[in-house]
Amino acid sequence: MKIEGRNAVSEAVKAGTEIDKVYIEKGAEQSGSGGSLFRTIRSKGIKFQFLPRPIMEKESLTGKHQGFIAVTADFVYSEFSEVKALASSRNEPLFIVVLDGVSDPHNLGSVLRVCECAGVHGVVIPKHRAASVNETVVRVSAGASEHIPVVRVGNINAFLEECKADGIFVYGAEADGTPMYQANLSGDIALVIGSEGEGIHALTRKTCDEIVSIPMFGEVNSLNASVACGVVVYEAVRQRNNRS
């Protein structure tokens, strides 16, 4: 897999991601942020190679490499046990986000960035008919994909049933639910975010313990999946900080 862009490559280096080689556009190492990143790469003994711009363009999958492309192994997904251990190590109630069929890699990357910034312990995605972590996701996440655990499961509904059996309260975010300010988002929770076009699937909705909604005051009655995720996640952050 290729990680492209200065922020994404920098975060991969910070996280200790196994990097085979970094391609650096000639001259990029002489700029401010580029120079700092180059010195870090060199100090850590990571292999690097200078390439002229035309070759960098050929190596780039996104066209937005900003002079740096790190070549790594495929993305390594986490186990749910690791997510629970992370919450326990922070002495915090578990907080996970579950994506029900989000297929746009830009939305997945944005969700990872929001969740990492908010301190969510992990993001759960389905193995099939949904976006997986690829080069676009890594770039859009601005490096957050290197810091937040991402779990892939074969069946979202079966996973949510296991969560409920483990005492985790499952919320779904939809337009017709209880206003999120009235819900208790401070305990062990899983927040389900639906796909861009369909929202939460009917069976998944039935599996949720409660549906919460974002108050809408304009003429448009829906938000992008990653934006909706950010709004509800930070309401949960507010409640959890107030009750800690």
* Structure-token match 């992008």, residue found: 224
Along the 244 residues of the chain, how does pLDDT read in single tens digits?
A: 999 999 999 999 998 888 999 999 999 998 888 999 999 999 999 999 999 999 999 999 888 899 999 999 889 999 999 999 999 999 999 999 999 989 999 999 999 999 999 999 999 999 998 999 998 999 899 889 999 999 999 999 999 999 999 999 999 999 889 999 999 999 999 999 998 778 899 999 999 999 999 998 888 777 889 999 999 999 999 999 986 5
Distance CA 192, CA 123 (A): 10
Task: Give the 3-state secondary structure of residue 24.
Answer: strand
Distance CA 114, CA 94 (A): 17
In order of start, what are the domains of the chain with their CATH numbers? 2-72 (3.30.1330.30), 80-242 (3.40.1280.10)
Please tell me the pTM assigned to this model: 0.85
Task: Give the 3-state secondary structure of residue 155.
Answer: coil
pLDDT tens figures, 197-207: 788 999 999 99
* Structure-token match 């850590």, residue found: 44
pLDDT tens figures, 134-181: 989 998 998 899 999 999 999 999 999 999 999 999 999 998 899 999
What H or E segment, with its residue span, contains residue 57? helix 53-59
Dihedral, CA atoms, 101, 103, 104, 105, nearest 10 degrees?
100
**Could you please report the per-residue DSSP string of 163-211?**
HHHTT-EEEEEEEEEEEGGGS--SSSEEEEEEBTTTBS-HHHHHHSSEE
Helices then strands, each counted (H, E), the chain: 9, 10
